A and B are shown apart, each in its own frame.
Chain A
Amino acid sequence: MLGKTAGGLYWMFRGLERAENNARLIEAGFRIALTRSTNTETEWKSVIITSAAQQGFTAKHSEFNSTNVIDYLLRDTDNPSSVLSVVKQARDNARLVRTALTTEVWSAVNETWMLITELLKNPIADTDLPEVLSIIRQQSALVRGALHGTMLRNDIYDFCRLGTFIERMDSTARIIDVKYYTLLPSPSLVGSRMDNVQWETLLRSVSAHRSYRWAVEDDYTATNIANFLVLDRRMPRSLAFCAGQIVENLDYLSEEYNDRRPSLDMAERMAARLKGRDIHSIIEEGLHDVLGTIISDVAALGAQIEKDYRFIH
């Protein structure tokens, strides 16, 4: 496979994952803004920070309100991470690697791009927002479904999955970091009883408010939620799950190419740091520091994968 194609697949699925994550973040922010009549500014600000869009946002807007934030994250083409930008980027990448995709996957991406471009042509009114966000999530699921259902399990598939999980792991780590910290100003408060609405928002932003109840069967507590999002291997957006998937896909590549490249060692080290850990020891160590390390590890791993598989040079 061409190195460029591997890179195109990887970035295509990072883009689609990012679009979906943005939609979730907005939804969670929107819900909390609805339930609170005053001072939603902090909430919207944390949405922007989580999406790693603070610099670009403040260059254009002075106020963190729903109109500005939603527009910036959904429609603003100056924002390289807006849904509109990433969907276009994903579709451009899909065109680039079209010979590597089944007709079903290509059609799903192309249709997603057509639909979402049309959908986001004009600013979104609050009344239309839930439907728009749900379409974005559905389209992302459609592409994923086409990938699962029609693609050969070979290197092409592995690069798609690596893009998905690198992006997801980064996103989940940021979500926990931003939320956890705003909710817990000092480490001594960790484990104390929290505002349920806030916790639910955090779970909603990773689509886990329902699965939490089924899986954890317990009240919202900081440790339970942290454990669920960081360490629970049943939860498909948890850090441990993402790390496991990344190792698995790099392992398949190593088998297929019959060699072992540095990215696999890095990924295994990263996964090992989460495996068999206890959430209390992580909190003791300092959750923020641990998350910070994870975020930079994921970035370094992404760069190493690019290098190992010659995406660019």
Chain B
Amino acid sequence: MMGQDSVRTPYVDYDAWFSKQDTTRLSRKAQEAEAFFRRTGITFNVYGQSDAEERLIPFDLVPRILTAAEWAKLSRGIDQRVRAINAFLHDIYNRQDILRAGIIPVELIQNNDAFLPQMIGFSPPGDVYTHIIGTDIVCTGEGEFYVLEDNARTPSGVSYMLENRETMLQMFPELFSKIKVQPVSDYPKNLRRSLAASAPASCEGRPTVAVLTPGIHNSAYYEHSFLADQMGVELVEGHDLRIVDGKIAMRTTEGHKVIDVIYRRIDDEYLDPLTFNPDSLLGVPGIMDVYRAGNVTIANAPGTGVADDKAIYCYMPEIVEFYTGERAILKNVQTFRCSDSLQYVLDNLADLVVKEVHGSGGYGMLVGPAASKQEIEDFRAKLKARPSNYIAQPTLSLSTVPIFTDAGLAPRHVDLRPFALMSPQGVNITPGGLTRVALKEGSLVVNSSQGGGTKDTWVLED
């Protein structure tokens, strides 16, 4: 498989099946999958393009496969990291022990836009801040996992994890009877349960959960409606909500109905025009007061962004150790803060990946080995102007996985975003996650906005 001499262990059974397949049939299946995605409207909008431009994320029909042992290690590491991040957030907004201990520089928190003073001295229901976390993982060899990034705000992509599996089950049912794969389909049920378990103490009876979306023009709208639908809860926008008797209520055909837990998919700054961006039409005026009075749960809690910042990322091994008393199971990618190591970074631009500290979506980054001389020089100027705005990482020799192309199987770089749910009852991680793949040969950028695709992710049964 993948033109190598030997087939990697987790792929042996799949390879045996694949070698017996007719590639014309597979090509047809691939086209069918695309037509299905389009008809179902599993699309995303690209910002800055006309709204007629709804795009499909390309789907590759070869699964990315992990053994049960690999997953066991990975999920232990994620569990540990997620708990540490949550403890870090509680600490940062309360006693600030980690700052007092001198482990993280105070400026990093003080000058951080994602740090919300409104959260100081407040504990959310059950002390849970990060109800949903997506941890971006890369792999350099068997069992060699590195965390590339933590997504503690509103991580997206879980609908693709679910739809990709659904598509595979429809296209190749026989494959799943031959190979035992751990299911992912419990995610919506677990999400609802986890959110309900995080309801405020004042909630009596069965908690009402709702998903708050910015609306149909948001790039991830499909996912918002998909999750609401799968959980069996209402999908609301800011203008559906108002405060009634000190609680958040949604306008229904039968009057106003109280909501106990809001899974919000809008950013902090748009959440409450009375507290944050006054121009926001997406949020609910006064929701922060209701929140602080303990009458609604907001998931994730406002202000979690302070934990997934790329500048904080450098300190993650220390953060894990500080709160769990254990060494971090998952490694960080070596990271240079450009404010400290500017000269080194400038000298080695052609070999490094440079990212904006607050950037996301693959925008505003430089992939040294893939960039032209001109691009490197342009970036050099930006970097010099604001070194503290950037971090740099070596390009790892990432392992590849096979994808299906017209010319047969071909190796491509991937990352993996497993999704962890957290509630007062504990952490739950769905086996697998979203595998994103750089479809361009040699490319390291997997973001869907930059031409990346996705594939199903299999964790084998033991």
Interface residues of A (CB under 8 A from B): 1-6, 92, 95-96, 98-99, 103, 106-107, 110-111, 114, 117, 155, 257, 309-310, 313
**B250 CB contact (under 8 Å) in A2, A92, A98, A111:** A2
Interface centre among B41, B240, B253 (most CB of A within 10 A): B253
Residue pair A110, B216 in contact (C-beta under 8 Å): no
* B residues less than 8 Å from A92 (CB atoms): 216
Does B300 touch A at the CB level, under 8 Å? Answer: no
Residue pair B221, A95 in contact (C-beta under 8 Å): yes
Residue pair A98, B254 in contact (C-beta under 8 Å): no
Residue pair B38, A4 in contact (C-beta under 8 Å): no
Given the interface pairs A95-B221, A98-B225, A99-B235, the reply to whether A6 lies near B40 with Cβ below 8 Å is no
**A99 CB contact (under 8 Å) in B40, B225, B251:** B225
Chain B, 382-406, CB within 8 A of any chain A CB? none
**A98 CB contact (under 8 Å) in B39, B52, B229, B237:** B229
Does B289 touch A at the CB level, under 8 Å? Answer: no
Q: How far is the CB of A262 from chain B (nearest CB, A)?
A: 14
Give the residue name and chain of the A residue nearest to B234 (CB).
A2
Does B111 touch A at the CB level, under 8 Å? Answer: no
CA distance A1 to B232 in the complex (A): 12
Residue pair B39, A110 in contact (C-beta under 8 Å): yes
**B253 CB contact (under 8 Å) in A6, A96, A99:** A6
Give the residue name and chain of the A residue nearest to B216 (CB).
A95
CA distance A313 to B252 in the complex (A): 10
CA distance A111 to B37 in the complex (A): 11
Q: How far is the CB of A143 from chain B (nearest CB, A)?
A: 14
* B residues less than 8 Å from A107 (CB atoms): 39-40
Cβ contacts B31-58/A at 8 Å (1 or 0 each)? 0000000111100000000001000000
CA distance A1 to B250 in the complex (A): 9
Given the interface pairs A96-B216, A99-B234, the reply to whether A4 lies near B229 with Cβ below 8 Å is no
**A4 CB contact (under 8 Å) in B39, B251, B255:** B251
Q: How far is the CB of B224 from chain A (nearest CB, A)?
A: 10
* A residues less than 8 Å from B250 (CB atoms): 2
CA distance A92 to B41 in the complex (A): 11
Residue pair A3, B251 in contact (C-beta under 8 Å): yes
Give the residue name and chain of the A residue nearest to B52 (CB).
A117
Q: How far is the CB of A104 from chain B (nearest CB, A)?
A: 11
Interface residues of B (CB under 8 A from A): 38-41, 52, 216, 221, 225, 228-229, 234-237, 239-240, 250-255
Number of A-B contacts (CB under 8 A): 56
CA distance A111 to B52 in the complex (A): 14
* B residues less than 8 Å from A4 (CB atoms): 236-237, 239-240, 251
CA distance A114 to B250 in the complex (A): 33
Residue pair B40, A3 in contact (C-beta under 8 Å): no
Q: List 20 A-B contacts (CB under 8 A).
A: A2-B236, A2-B240, A2-B252, A3-B252, A3-B253, A4-B239, A4-B240, A6-B253, A95-B216, A95-B225, A96-B216, A98-B225, A98-B229, A106-B40, A107-B40, A110-B39, A114-B38, A114-B39, A117-B52, A257-B254
What does DSSP make chain A's interface, helix, strand, loop or mixed? helix
Q: How far is the CB of B282 from chain A (nearest CB, A)?
A: 14
Q: How far is the CB of B127 from chain A (nearest CB, A)?
A: 31
Q: How far is the CB of B5 from chain A (nearest CB, A)?
A: 45
Give the residue name and chain of the A residue nearest to B241 (CB).
A2
* A residues less than 8 Å from B229 (CB atoms): 98-99
| Known interface pairs A4-B240, A99-B228, A257-B254; 13 further A-B residue pairs with C-beta atoms within 8 A, sorted by A's residue number | A2-B234, A2-B236, A2-B250, A2-B252, A92-B216, A99-B229, A99-B235, A103-B40, A106-B41, A107-B40, A111-B39, A310-B252, A313-B251
CA distance A257 to B252 in the complex (A): 11
Give the residue name and chain of the A residue nearest to B230 (CB).
A99
CA distance A92 to B218 in the complex (A): 12
CA distance A107 to B36 in the complex (A): 10
CA distance A309 to B252 in the complex (A): 8
Q: How far is the CB of B218 from chain A (nearest CB, A)?
A: 11
Interface centre among B229, B237, B255 (most CB of A within 10 A): B229
Residue pair A1, B216 in contact (C-beta under 8 Å): no
Residue pair A1, B40 in contact (C-beta under 8 Å): no
Residue pair B41, A95 in contact (C-beta under 8 Å): yes
Residue pair A309, B253 in contact (C-beta under 8 Å): yes
CA distance A3 to B221 in the complex (A): 19
Q: How far is the CB of A51 from chain B (nearest CB, A)?
A: 24
Q: How far is the CB of A311 from chain B (nearest CB, A)?
A: 9
* B residues less than 8 Å from A110 (CB atoms): 39-41
CA distance A92 to B252 in the complex (A): 20
CA distance A1 to B255 in the complex (A): 10
* A residues less than 8 Å from B253 (CB atoms): 1-3, 6, 155, 257, 309-310
